[in-house]
């Protein structure tokens, strides 16, 4: 017992030194280093969980991250980061071809999903791409093509005109696939869609790159088509186009949904635009709100977490979460701040990070830590909510109370 107690306090001391040192430098490269993973594995999970739940750990982390957040939200040159994103992580307009896909549903549902022990994820993703409930007949299906990658959006128009304002809700699904699919989150999307259509919103739904109704074979410069990646988006890592040498691999994930949204906004004049996303869709909501200032308010449900906190997580996250080189140059705090700014560096938009305290992703203690940091930041345009929820879903009651 005494040994265990001394062991724990020794680890407290190591954590304190660790936090002070690493809070002053970029953490993304550390998260992805094999030596760091081996170092974390030296300590049993039970001990690490006890440390993370301790008041000592939470106090130090909140203090450290509050300083980071305040520094980020005082960055006078923050629009330089938006320019960086546009220049290197969004493809050029001439690389995009738009088209309508009237038979998208039939095309997706006609696919045969082959079950295989060698590729269980491919089977799951194929099944999750299918439509189990159809969009309304007045839908518009738009495609955006770049290289041999197709991204799609489905826009349903509201039949209700509650006031003179024309409103748009953009919904982004996550790794579970098609918003109109069979998963629990798909059922939530249908309730959300109908709720806001009755309030006069047009509803635009999107999937992650190469998932949902974007789940098709892809081809682009330097892809290895013979290699089966363990994670669905790792395939983009080697992308390089000598005709557009500045464009980075993450641009293949961001550009499709970015341009589909811009296309809809160019064709209709909306007075209010809201964006919500869950899981991987919450990741998209954070990134896209940072580069599309027309979005009035954005909500990321269990979608992102500052890179610093990943030092204490058991998993480092997917390519888009922490594997991209962009995180050597920016942090999610930069994106949170950008999601509140217009084109003139004026803070007049709102961004909310929502965490579910008792689920498996971005849960406590990190949900409460982020809530405490947000409270300390005292910025009315950026908020964190830590909800009493134990599932990886959008809490509809919370969402419906927002707008």
The pLDDT tens digits for 9-31 are 555 545 554 554 444 445 555 55
Q: Domain residue spans in the chain?
A: 2-72, 79-400
Beta strands in 258-308 (DSSP E): 272-278, 297-301
Instruction: Give the per-residue pLDDT at 158.
Output: 93
Q: Is 233 within 8 Å of 197 (Cβ atoms)?
A: no
Q: How confident is the model at residue 2 (pLDDT cuts 50, 70, 90)?
A: very low
Phi, psi at 199, each rounded to 5°? -90, 10
Instruction: Give the per-residue pLDDT at 184.
Output: 72
Instruction: Give the per-residue pLDDT at 234.
Output: 86
- C-alpha distance from residue 186 to each of 73, 172, 393, 399 (Å): 35, 11, 10, 16
Q: What is the arithmetic mean of pLDDT over 109-130?
A: 79
- In the structure encoding, which two tokens stand for residue 284, read together? 């998209």
Report CA 164 to chain centroid distance, whole Å.
32
What letter would DSSP give residue 320?
I
pLDDT for 207-266, tens place per residue? 999 999 998 888 999 998 776 555 678 889 999 999 999 999 999 999 999 999 999 999
Q: Is 394 within 8 Å of 185 (Cβ atoms)?
A: yes
Q: What is the arithmetic mean of pLDDT over 102-113?
A: 91
Count of CB atoms within 10 A of residue 314's CB? 11
Q: How confident is the model at residue 78 (pLDDT cuts 50, 70, 90)?
A: very high
Per-state percent for the chain, helix, strand, coil, to nearest 5: 45, 15, 40
pLDDT for 159-192, tens place per residue? 876 667 899 999 999 988 899 998 777 778 999 9
What letter would DSSP give residue 168?
E
Note the maximum CA span of the chain: 70
Say if residue 290's pLDDT is above 60. Answer: yes
Say if residue 138's pLDDT is above 90. Answer: no
CA distance 318 to 174: 12
Its pTM stands at: 0.88
Q: Specify the range with the lowest mean pLDDT, choosing from 17-31, 103-117, 344-358, 376-390.
A: 17-31
Of all residues in the chain, the percent with pLDDT exceeding 70 is 82
CA distance 353 to 372: 12
Which of 345, 306, 354 lies closest to 78 in space, CA to CA?
345
Q: Is 264 within 8 Å of 168 (Cβ atoms)?
A: yes
- In the structure encoding, which two tokens stand for residue 208, read together? 């992650």
Q: What is the arithmetic mean of pLDDT over 20-48?
A: 53
- Beta strands 167-172; 149-156: pairing state: unpaired
Q: Is 342 within 8 Å of 367 (Cβ atoms)?
A: no
Say if residue 309's pLDDT is above 90. Answer: no
CA distance 356 to 302: 7
Which of 297, 283, 258 lies closest to 168 in space, CA to CA?
297
- Kindly report the CATH number that applies to the domain delimited by 79-400: 3.40.50.1820
């Amino acid at each position: 017992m005494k040994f265990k107690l001394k062991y724990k306090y020794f680890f407290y001391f190591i954590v304190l030194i660790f936090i002070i040192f690493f809070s002053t430098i970029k953490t993304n490269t550390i998260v992805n280093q094999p030596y760091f993973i081996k170092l974390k594995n030296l300590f049993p999970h039970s001990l690490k969980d006890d440390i993370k739940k301790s008041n000592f750990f939470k106090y130090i982390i909140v203090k450290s991250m509050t300083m980071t957040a305040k520094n980020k939200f005082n960055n006078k040159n923050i629009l330089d980061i938006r320019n960086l994103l546009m220049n290197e992580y969004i493809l050029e307009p001439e690389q995009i071809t738009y088209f309508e896909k009237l038979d998208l549903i039939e095309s997706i549902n006609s696919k045969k999903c082959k079950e295989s022990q060698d590729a269980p994820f491919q089977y799951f993703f194929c099944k999750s791409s299918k439509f189990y409930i159809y969009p309304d007949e007045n839908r518009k299906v738009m495609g955006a093509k770049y290289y041999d990658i197709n991204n799609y959006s489905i826009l349903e128009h509201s039949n209700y005109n509650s006031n003179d304002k024309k409103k748009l809700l953009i919904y982004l699904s996550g790794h579970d696939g098609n918003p109109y699919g069979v998963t629990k989150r798909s059922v939530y999307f249908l309730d959300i869609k109908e709720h806001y259509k009755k309030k006069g919103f047009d509803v635009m739904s999107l999937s992650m790159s190469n998932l949902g109704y974007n789940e098709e074979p892809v081809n682009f410069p330097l892809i290895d088509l013979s290699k089966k990646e363990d994670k669905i988006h790792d395939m983009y890592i080697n992308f390089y186009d000598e005709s557009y040498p500045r464009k980075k691999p993450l641009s293949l994930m961001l550009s499709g949904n970015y341009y589909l949204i811009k296309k809809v906004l160019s064709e209709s004049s909306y007075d209010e635009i809201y964006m919500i996303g869950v899981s991987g869709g919450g990741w998209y909501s954070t990134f896209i709100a940072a580069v599309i200032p027309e979005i009035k308010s954005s909500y990321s449900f269990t979608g992102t977490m500052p890179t610093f906190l990943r030092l204490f997580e058991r998993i480092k996250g997917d390519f888009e979460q922490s594997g991209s080189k962009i995180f050597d140059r920016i942090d999610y705090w930069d994106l949170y701040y950008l999601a509140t700014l217009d084109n003139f560096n004026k803070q007049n938009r709102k961004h909310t990070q929502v965490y579910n305290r008792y689920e498996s992703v971005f849960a406590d203690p990190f949900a409460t830590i982020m809530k405490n940091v947000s409270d300390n930041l005292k910025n009315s345009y950026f908020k964190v909510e830590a909800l009493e929820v134990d599932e990886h879903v959008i809490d509809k009651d919370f969402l419906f109370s927002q707008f």
